[in-house]
């Protein structure tokens, strides 16, 4: 895919990522799916190679790299081999959890928590969704009540990415039922805190290697110093961080679509039917032409959003457009890829089949695509 996003430094970094993927990812894909878990050794290996916590400042053990294009290089190489579950885990750590800590943690909290995000020793999760509250976070019931110099958290969360392995969980809780959007706060719950338990590892349609769990909080006493940011600002903090989360999902979708287009083109150039390559049939060829055009046009918008994010000017609306468009396109490309592979496209030994089940969640998490349309729609009606 032609793109002018990367400069020589990014390409050199991408080569390093490719080596990591070939050595530590490709040989383990089947094992991870069978185990329903990605082993910690992979996280540690990525940390040793400098692939994690890129935005952590040097004073806290990181490289202090604010250029998001390096993260895009990682996502591209992981997508190239169809390792969507690993991509999801890395993005949760670097684009979501770490983003909250960098924005809102004080220096003492950063000294405690950030170094592990660089080494791969700390796996993070963010606990927002509840059994009865998904995209509408104002409907959550998990509560945090002050008791002396502690907060006592009660409630449950579900669909939590990295919920089984997480050492540190940012919990979105209601701290004042009468304060409206100012009645929510963020707390960092750490492994080993009494009352914090993990439920079942959820059995998902796809992303089998990505551990997703239910989390339970029963009178969990969280010290005051684990309040993240200011009291009552939790909802506002979520709104600030959603653009990067949605951009990350859009990039993952774009890179997946590019990878699947490559696999599909390779297949239709080799597979024959009725005496010729199936890629030569006009009906199939026209669909491929349309999809390839859409993928290339989509890449230009995604690249623009990355540049805007680097400049600090990416809007929530543009991030929503990126997420909406790229995930919908990803679905179209993968569906066509499965169809053009014929029966083999339905066999899990072919990466296009795995991509098919892994991609469906993209249009749901990070805010459903219906919510993305609502955000864009409201912006259109502004005077």
The pLDDT tens digits along the chain (383 residues) read 678 999 999 999 999 999 999 999 999 999 999 999 999 999 999 999 999 999 999 999 999 999 999 999 999 999 999 999 999 999 999 999 999 999 999 999 999 999 999 999 999 999 998 887 666 677 788 999 999 999 999 999 999 999 999 999 999 999 999 888 899 999 999 999 999 999 988 999 999 999 999 999 999 999 999 999 999 999 999 989 989 999 999 999 999 999 999 999 999 999 988 999 999 999 999 999 999 999 999 999 999 999 999 999 999 999 999 999 999 999 999 999 999 999 999 999 999 999 999 999 999 999 999 999 999 999 999 86
**Catalytic residue IDs:** 245
Could you tell me if residue 130 is left (phi over 0), alpha (psi between -120 and 50 degrees) or otherwise beta?
beta
Spans of all domains in the chain:
8-122, 126-232, 236-381
Element (H, E) at 144: strand 143-147
- Summary mean pLDDT of the chain: 94
Distance CA 246, CA 323 (A): 6
Q: Report the relative pairing of strands 168-174 and 124-127 from DSSP bridges.
A: parallel
pLDDT at 138: 74
Spatial CA neighbour of 288 closest among 254, 323, 339: 339
Spatial CA neighbour of 195 closest among 170, 164, 217: 217
DSSP bridge pairs for 123: none
Q: How far apart are the first and last CA of the chain?
A: 38
Please give the C-alpha separations between residue 16 and each of 12, 13, 29, 145, 244, in angstroms, as whole numbers.
7, 5, 19, 47, 24
Distance CA 119, CA 243 (A): 26
DSSP bridge pairs for 333: none
Q: Which CATH superfamily is domain 236-381 in?
A: Butyryl-CoA Dehydrogenase, subunit A, domain 3 (1.20.140.10)
pLDDT at 378: 95
Instruction: Tell me the two tokens of residue 346.
Output: 């339905």
pLDDT tens-digit series, residues 328-352:
999 999 999 999 999 999 999 999 9
pLDDT at 200: 87
Distance CA 168, CA 126 (A): 9
Distance CA 38, CA 45 (A): 12
Q: Report the relative pairing of strands 196-201 and 212-223 from DSSP bridges.
A: antiparallel
196 with 187: CB under 8 angstroms? no
pLDDT at 135: 65
pLDDT at 181: 85
Distance CA 188, CA 169 (A): 6
Spatial CA neighbour of 323 closest among 364, 293, 382: 364
Does the domain made of 8-122 have the CATH classification 3.20.20.140?
no
DSSP secondary-structure letter at 224?
Answer: G
pLDDT tens-digit series, residues 20-39:
999 999 999 999 999 999 99
DSSP bridge pairs for 156: 216
pLDDT at 357: 97
- The CATH architecture to which 126-232 belongs is Beta Barrel (2.40)
């Amino acid at each position: 895919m032609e793109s002018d996003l990367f400069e020589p430094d990014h390409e050199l970094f991408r080569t390093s990522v490719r080596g990591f993927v070939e050595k530590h990812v490709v040989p383990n894909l089947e094992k991870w799916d069978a185990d329903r878990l990605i082993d910690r050794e992979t996280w540690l290996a990525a940390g040793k190679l400098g692939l994690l916590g890129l935005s952590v400042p040097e004073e806290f053990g990181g490289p202090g790299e604010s250029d998001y294009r390096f993260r895009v290089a990682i996502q591209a190489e992981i997508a190239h081999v169809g390792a969507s579950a690993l991509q999801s885990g890395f993005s949760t750590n670097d684009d979501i959890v770490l983003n909250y800590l960098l924005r809102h943690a004080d220096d003492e909290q950063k000294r405690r928590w950030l170094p592990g995000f660089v080494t791969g020793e700390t796996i993070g999760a963010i606990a927002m969704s509840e059994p009865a509250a998904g995209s509408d976070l104002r409907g959550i019931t998990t509560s945090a009540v002050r008791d002396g110099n502690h907060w006592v958290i009660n409630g449950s969360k579900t669909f939590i990415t990295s919920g089984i392995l997480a050492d540190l969980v940012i919990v979105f809780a209601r701290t004042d039922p009468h304060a409206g959007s100012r009645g929510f706060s963020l707390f960092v719950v750490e492994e080993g805190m009494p009352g914090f338990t993990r439920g079942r590892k959820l059995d998902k349609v796809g992303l089998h290697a990505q551990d997703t769990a239910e989390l339970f909080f029963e009178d969990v006493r969280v010290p005051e110093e684990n309040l993240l940011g200011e009291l009552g600002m939790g909802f506002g903090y979520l709104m600030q961080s959603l653009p990067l989360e949605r951009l990350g999902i859009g990039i993952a979708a774009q890179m997946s679509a590019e990878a699947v287009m490559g696999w599909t083109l390779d297949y239709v150039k080799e597979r024959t039917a009725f005496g010729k390559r199936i890629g030569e049939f006009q009906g199939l060829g026209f669909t491929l032409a349309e999809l390839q055009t859409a993928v290339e046009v989509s890449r230009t918008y995604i690249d623009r959003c990355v540049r805007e994010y680097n400049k600090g000017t990416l809007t929530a609306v543009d991030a929503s457009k990126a997420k909406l468009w790229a995930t919908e396109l990803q679905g179209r490309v993968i569906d066509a890829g499965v169809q053009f592979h014929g029966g083999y496209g339905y066999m899990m030994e072919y990466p296009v089949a795995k991509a098919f089940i892994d991609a469906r969640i993209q249009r749901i998490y990070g805010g459903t695509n219906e919510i993305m349309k609502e955000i864009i729609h409201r912006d259109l009606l502004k005077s």
